[in-house]
Amino acid sequence: MSATQEDYIKVLFELGGKSRNVSNKSVAERLELSPPTVTEMMNILVTAGYVEYVKYKGASLTDSGTRYAKHIIRKHRLWEVFLVEKLGISIDAVHREAELLEHVTGDDVADKLEVFLDYPKFCPHGGAIDFDEMDRQETELKTLSEVEVGRTVKISRIIDEEKLLMFFKTQKCDIGDILVVEDVDEQIDLITTYNKTKDQRLQLSLSISKYLFVETA
């Protein structure tokens, strides 16, 4: 599989392709490609046995595809841990680097890297490295936007997209922080929370809060 194809598989996984049917449009948006390009690639990935595709309905991952995606994601996250913890590169810069490293890392290197890093459980953005824990995160985590007013939650994971990471860097807000959801205003697209850990108010748009994964604290 080419690096290109691995990125498609990964996006399918990240968009829930293990269970749902993922639309070509969403894949195209994520990878910044045109929809026809995605259609074409889906057919290739079907032939390769990683994807099931229903015309006009979208793609889902086969077991083989899901396993493959997890392997790449594991490598991605191991590199992120290395880059942050050993090289001291900032948390918002590592994603771009890992996005390339993940495709040129043999299984043996990944395994030895994991040992060297002393079996980290999560990447710097809170993503699980262990396969089972990946599954658990997918079922048990919800986005901050889905939390009812009044609930107290813990920030478990930030989707690592460049812009978001910059936002969370400027706002003082980290993985593990405890938030109380004080108000959700769909009209003005705003969610108001109180960050207990940092002892300060945190307001953010609902659209951004969709990329913040939390679990009941």
Partner DNA sequence: AACATACTTTAGGTTTGCCAAAATTAATAT
Partner DNA sequence: ATATTAATTTTGGCAAACCTAAAGTATGTT
**Residues at the site binding DNA, with contacts judged by CB under 7 A:** 2, 4-5, 23-25, 28, 32-42, 44, 53, 55-58
Please, what is the minimum distance in Å from the beta carbon of residue 210 to DNA?
16
Separation CA 202–CA 178 (nearest Å)? 11
Contact 148, 181 (CB under 8 A): yes
**Stretch in the footprint of a copy of itself (CB under 8 A) among 53-61, 108-116, 167-175, 179-187:** 108-116
If one asks whether residue 104 binds a copy of itself (CB under 8 A), the answer comes out as yes
Could you say which of a copy of itself, Mn ion, DNA, none residue 160 binds, taking C-beta under 5 to 8 angstroms by partner kind? Answer: Mn ion
Separation CA 127–CA 129 (nearest Å)? 7
- Helix, strand, or coil here: 149? coil
Please, what is the minimum distance in Å from the beta carbon of residue 49 to DNA?
15
Q: In this complex, which beta carbon is closest to a copy of itself, that of residue 79 or of residue 213? A: 79
User: Exposed (0-12), middle (13-18) or buried (19+): which is 162, by Cβ within 10 Å?
Assistant: exposed
Handedness of CA 146, 150, 153, 157 (dihedral sign): positive
Structure tokens at 83: 């880059």
* b/e code 17-29 from CB counts within 10 Å (16+ = b): bbeeebbbebbbe
**Stretch in the footprint of a copy of itself (CB under 8 A) among 43-51, 109-117, 134-142, 167-175:** 109-117
If one asks whether residue 89 binds a copy of itself (CB under 8 A), the answer comes out as yes
Contact 69, 80 (CB under 8 A): no
Separation CA 215–CA 217 (nearest Å)? 6
Structure tokens at 205: 């748009």
Please, what is the minimum distance in Å from the beta carbon of residue 12 to DNA?
13
Q: In this complex, which beta carbon is closest to Mn ion, that of residue 7 or of residue 114? A: 7
If one asks whether residue 7 binds Mn ion (CB under 5 A), the answer comes out as yes
Q: Of 38, 72, 73, 83, which lies in the binding site for a copy of itself, with binding defined by CB under 8 A? A: 83
Q: Of 4, 34, 64, 100, which lies in the binding site for a copy of itself, with binding defined by CB under 8 A? A: 100
Structure tokens at 76: 């991605």
Q: Of 29, 52, 97, 99, which lies in the binding site for Mn ion, with binding defined by CB under 5 A? A: 99
Q: Which residues bind a copy of itself (CB under 8 A)?
A: 83, 86-89, 93, 97, 100-101, 103-106, 108-109, 112-113, 115-116
